[in-house]
C-alpha cells in the first residue's frame, strides 16, 4: 500500500483560535480552528465517548443497529472533523483525496498537534459526514499522530521471522492480572504467523527492568509488546508503566526511563502498549504521554491504548496488526486494517478507536520483509534447518511444487484407476525419495485420539512394535498439551498418528486430538500440528494413517515444509486392518530402510497379508 501525505499542523494563535497549516498533494492551505467545546462541555463529551467505547466492548448479545447521528461518538466525531477541516482546509482535503484516488494510492492523515490540550482528544473518532463514516476506518485514510524528527527512520530489512518480545508485568501489590489468560490472548493472536514461521514470539522470563535489559542485550528484537498496568503521573507530568521490583512489588517506570531501555535498540521498530492510559498526556506538555515520550526518545512507532480494551478486541486487533505488518505494509496501514477487523468482528463495537498510533517514520514502513525467505522459513526452535525444497511422490504421478518454487517431478506405481492409491510420501529434494531412516535407537510415539474410528490399527502397531523390537509409546490421552510436552522431552524418532482428517485443502485441513475436557474432540489445524512436530529435536519422520478423503498429501507437505525430514500418509478405505502392514513397516524401520523401501514393503505386506476390509493399495515412491 502506497500513500500520499496530507499533513495537518495545529498550533496556538494569538486570537484565541488555533492555526491550521496544511501540506498536501493538492498544495498548501491555511485555516483556523475554533474549538467547538467549552472546558465544561468537553469534559462531559469525553466522558460520554469513553463510556460508549468501553460499553461497546462489554456487549455480548447486542444485535441492535445504532441510529446514524444519535451516537455520542458520531456526534463528537463530526464536531472534531468539522472544526479541524474548515472550508479551505476541507476543500484541499477533497482535492487531495481525488489526487490519491487517481494515482491509486491512499491518503495518510498526519496530525502534528502542537498544543498539549489537543493531544489528549480522541482524534481517531473523526467522522466525515459527507462520506458517512469514520475517517480512520479505512486503509485509504489512516490517521497518524506524527512527530517530526531529525533522526531518519529507514525500513529495516528482515529475514523472517519477525521477532517479538512480549512482557507481562504483574506485581503483587496491584490488581492481579490473569497471566495465563493474557499470554493466551497474544498466543491466539499470533498463532497463524507462528505456525507459518513468519513471526517468532518470545516471552520475557521475569518483569523487572533488569530482565528486559538483559533480553534486549541478548537478542535483536523487532517488536516489544507490553502487557500490564499503566497510568499518568500528574505530579511528574509524565506517563508511567508499572514493572515488577526485585521484591515482587510495583516499580513505577517513567516513560523516559522506559525510553532509555528501548530507544538504543536499532532493530526495535515498534512498541505495543496494552496498558491503560498509555496514550494519555497532560494539558501542558505535548510529549507527556508514554507513547509520545517513547517516540521522542527514538522508537519509530508506538501503538498505545487511550481506553480500556476488551479481550476480544485486543486479540482481533493484535492478530490483524501483526499479520499486516508481516505482509510488508506500513504501520499506519496495518493499524487501519486492524481497526477494520475489530469493527467487523463485533457489530457496533467502538473499540477500534481505542488504539492510538504515534510515529516518527515518514512513510510508516518499519520493515522490509524478505518474501523469498518467507516460503522457506518455519518456526525457529533451535533445531535443524528445513530443506530448501521438496520433491513429492503422489499416487497419480502429478507435478507438485516444491518450496524453491520449481515444479518437482513425481512418479508412482500406477494402479487401476478404479482403485486410487492412498499413499503420499515426501522427502527432502535431492534424495529421490530414498532418504534413509537410520536404525531406530529412539522411540516411536503413537498418537491415537479417542475419536479414531477403530482402535484395532493402533493395537496392531503396539503388537508389531513388540515383535520388531521397537520401543513404542502410546500417548494417552492424546491432547495437544500432552503431545507438546512429550515432544519437548525428546527421544522421539518417529511419530505415527491414527485418526480422522476433515478436508483435502492443505491450507484448511484439520485433524482431531483429544480435548482436555474429555468430551468433544479438539480440532487442530494441519499446519499447527506440523509446527508442533517441527519443534521435536531428533524427529526423523512422521506417518499419518487416516480415513480416506481426509488429508491426502496435505499432511506430508505441511510436515516436510516445517523441517521434518520425511512424512508419509496412508489412507485406507477403513481404519480396520490386520497386523501385516504395521509389522512390516516397523521391522523395516528398525533395520534402517529408506522411505521408499518402507513404503514398498508396507505395500507388499498389506497386499499379501491381512489388508483392510476394503483393500486399498500403497503407491511405491521412486527408487
> What are the tens digits of pLDDT across the range 239-288?
899 999 999 999 999 999 999 999 889 899 999 998 765 455 545 444 45
Check: CB of residue 370 under 8 Å from CB of residue 157: yes
- Residues sharing a CB contact under 8 Å with residue 344, sequence separation 6 or more, in sequence order: none
Start-to-end Cα distance in the chain:
48
Task: Give percent of the chain with pLDDT exceeding 90.
Answer: 35
Bridge-based pairing state of the strands 492-499 and 443-447: parallel
CB 253 within 8 A of CB 260: no
Quick one: pLDDT band at residue 531, thresholds 50, 70, 90?
A: confident
pLDDT digits (tens, 9 = 90+) for 431-458: 334 344 444 457 999 998 886 555 677 8
94 has a pLDDT exceeding 70? yes
Please, which residues bridge with residue 537 across strands? none
Spell out the domain ranges in the chain: 3-145, 156-373, 390-608
Q: What confidence category does residue 29 fall into, taking pLDDT thresholds of 50, 70 and 90? A: very high
Least-confidence region, from 78-82, 318-322, 419-423: 419-423
- Domain 390-608, CATH class in plain words: alpha beta
Q: What is the pLDDT of residue 557?
A: 73
Q: What is the pLDDT of residue 254?
A: 92
Q: How does residue 151 score in pLDDT terms, banded at 50, 70 and 90? A: confident
CATH architecture of 156-373: 3-Layer(aba) Sandwich (3.40)
Contacts of 215 (CB under 8 A, 6+ apart): 165, 202, 204, 221
User: Across 163-167, 411-415, 479-483, 544-548, which has the greatest mean pLDDT?
Assistant: 163-167
Q: Which pLDDT does position 613 carry in this prediction?
A: 36
- For the chain, give the mean pLDDT: 78
Residue 528 has pLDDT above 70, yes or no: yes
Give the number of other CB atoms < 10 A from CB of residue 217. Answer: 9
Q: Which residue has the cell 459527507?
A: 130
In 272-396, where does DSSP find H-type helix? 290-297, 311-326, 331-345, 371-374
Mean pLDDT of 406-427: 34
Task: Write down the pLDDT at residue 232.
Answer: 79
Take residue 172 and report the three cell numbers written for it: 503483587
Q: Do domains 156-373 and 390-608 have the same CATH topology?
A: yes
In angstroms, the CA 395 to CA 425 distance is 9
Task: Say what the alpha-carbon torsion angle 517, 520, 525, 531 is, to the nearest 10 degrees.
Answer: 30
Q: For residues 570 and 416, is the Cβ–Cβ distance under 8 A?
A: no
**pLDDT score for 400:** 24
Number of residues in the chain: 623
- Name the CA dihedral angle for 54, 60, 64, 67, rounded to a multiple of 10 degrees: 10
Q: Report pLDDT for 303.
A: 95
What's the pLDDT band for 399 if we cut at 50, 70, 90? very low
Parallel, antiparallel or unpaired: strands 472-475 and 522-525 = unpaired
Residue 195 predicted with pLDDT over 50: yes
Quick: pLDDT tens for 468-501.
888 999 988 888 888 988 998 889 999 998 887 6
pLDDT tens per residue across span 109-148:
999 999 888 888 999 999 999 999 999 999 999 999 999 8
Amino acid at each position: 500500500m502506497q500513500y500520499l501525505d496530507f499533513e495537518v499542523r495545529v498550533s496556538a494563535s494569538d486570537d484565541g483560535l488555533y492555526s491550521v497549516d496544511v501540506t498536501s498533494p493538492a498544495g498548501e492551505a491555511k485555516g483556523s480552528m475554533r474549538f467547538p467545546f467549552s472546558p465544561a462541555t468537553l469534559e462531559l463529551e469525553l466522558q460520554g465517548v469513553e463510556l460508549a467505547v468501553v460499553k461497546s466492548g462489554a456487549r455480548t448479545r447486542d444485535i441492535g443497529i445504532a441510529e446514524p447521528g444519535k451516537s455520542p461518538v458520531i456526534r463528537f466525531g463530526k464536531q472534531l472533523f468539522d472544526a479541524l477541516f474548515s472550508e479551505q482546509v476541507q476543500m484541499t482535503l477533497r482535492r487531495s483525496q481525488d489526487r490519491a484516488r487517481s494515482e491509486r494510492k491512499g491518503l495518510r492523515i498526519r496530525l502534528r498537534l502542537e498544543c498539549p490540550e489537543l493531544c489528549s482528544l480522541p482524534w481517531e473518532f473523526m467522522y466525515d459526514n459527507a462520506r458517512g463514516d469514520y475517517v480512520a476506518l479505512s486503509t485509504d485514510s489512516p490517521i497518524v499522530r506524527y512527530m517530526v524528527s531529525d533522526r531518519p527512520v529507514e525500513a529495516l530489512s528482515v529475514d523472517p521471522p519477525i521477532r517479538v518480545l512480549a512482557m507481562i508485568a504483574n506485581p503483587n501489590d496491584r490488581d492481579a492480572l490473569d497471566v495465563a489468560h493474557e499470554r493466551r490472548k497474544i498466543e491466539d493472536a499470533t498463532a497463524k504467523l507462528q505456525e507459518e514461521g513468519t513471526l517468532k514470539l518470545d516471552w520475557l522470563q521475569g518483569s523487572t527492568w533488569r530482565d528486559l535489559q538483559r533480553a534486549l542485550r541478548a537478542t535483536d528484537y523487532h517488536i516489544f509488546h507490553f502487557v500490564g498496568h499503566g497510568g499518568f503521573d500528574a505530579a511528574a507530568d509524565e506517563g508511567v508503566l508499572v514493572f515488577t521490583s526485585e521484591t515482587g512489588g510495583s516499580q513505577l517506570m517513567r516513560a523516559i526511563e522506559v525510553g532509555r531501555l528501548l530507544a538504543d535498540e536499532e532493530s526495535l521498530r515498534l512498541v505495543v502498549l496494552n496498558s491503560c492510559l498509555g496514550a494519555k498526556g497532560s494539558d501542558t506538555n505535548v510529549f507527556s504521554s508514554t507513547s509520545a515520550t517513547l517516540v521522542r526518545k527514538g522508537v519509530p512507532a508506538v501503538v498505545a491504548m487511550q481506553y480500556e480494551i476488551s479481550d476480544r478486541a485486543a486479540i482481533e486487533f493484535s492478530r490483524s496488526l501483526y499479520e499486516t505488518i508481516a505482509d510488508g505494509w506500513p504501520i499506519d496501514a496495518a493499524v487501519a486494517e486492524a481497526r477494520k477487523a475489530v469493527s467487523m468482528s463485533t457489530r457496533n463495537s467502538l473499540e477500534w478507536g481505542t488504539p492510538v498510533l504515534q510515529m516518527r517514520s515518514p512513510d510508516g514502513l518499519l520493515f522490509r520483509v524478505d518474501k523469498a525467505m518467507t516460503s522457506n522459513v518455519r518456526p525457529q526452535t533451535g533445531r535443524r534447518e528445513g530443506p530448501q525444497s521438496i520433491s513429492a511422490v503422489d499416487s497419480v504421478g502429478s507435478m507438485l511444487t516444491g518450496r524453491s518454487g520449481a515444479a518437482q517431478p513425481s512418479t508412482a506405481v500406477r494402479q487401476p484407476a478404479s482403485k486410487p492409491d492412498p499413499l503420499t510420501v515426501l522427502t527432502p529434494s535431492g534424495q529421490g525419495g530414498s532418504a534413509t531412516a537410520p536404525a531406530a535407537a529412539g522411540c516411536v510415539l503413537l498418537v491415537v485420539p479417542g475419536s479414531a474410528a477403530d482402535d484395532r490399527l493402533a493395537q496392531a502397531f503396539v503388537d508389531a512394535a513388540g515383535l520388531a523390537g521397537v520401543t513404542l509409546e502410546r500417548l494417552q490421552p492424546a491432547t495437544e498439551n500432552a503431545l507438546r510436552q512429550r515432544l519437548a522431552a525428546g527421544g522421539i524418532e518417529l511419530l505415527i498418528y491414527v485418526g480422522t482428517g476433515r478436508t483435502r485443502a492443505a491450507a484448511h485441513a484439520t485433524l482431531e486430538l483429544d480435548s482436555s475436557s474429555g468430551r468433544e474432540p479438539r480440532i487442530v489445524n494441519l499446519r499447527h500440528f506440523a509446527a508442533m512436530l517441527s519443534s521435536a529435536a531428533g524427529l526423523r519422520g512422521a506417518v499419518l494413517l487416516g480415513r480416506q478423503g481426509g488429508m491426502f498429501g496435505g499432511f506430508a507437505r505441511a510436515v516436510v515444509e516445517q523441517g521434518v525430514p520425511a512424512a508419509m500418509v496412508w489412507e485406507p478405505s477403513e481404519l480396520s486392518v490386520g497386523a501385516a502392514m504395521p509389522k512390516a513397516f516397523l521391522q523395516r524401520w528398525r533395520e534402517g530402510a529408506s522411505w521408499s523401501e518402507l513404503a514398498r514393503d508396507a505395500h507388499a505386506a498389506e497386499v499379501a497379508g491381512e489388508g483392510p476390509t476394503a483393500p486399498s493399495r500403497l503407491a511405491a515412491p521412486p527408487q
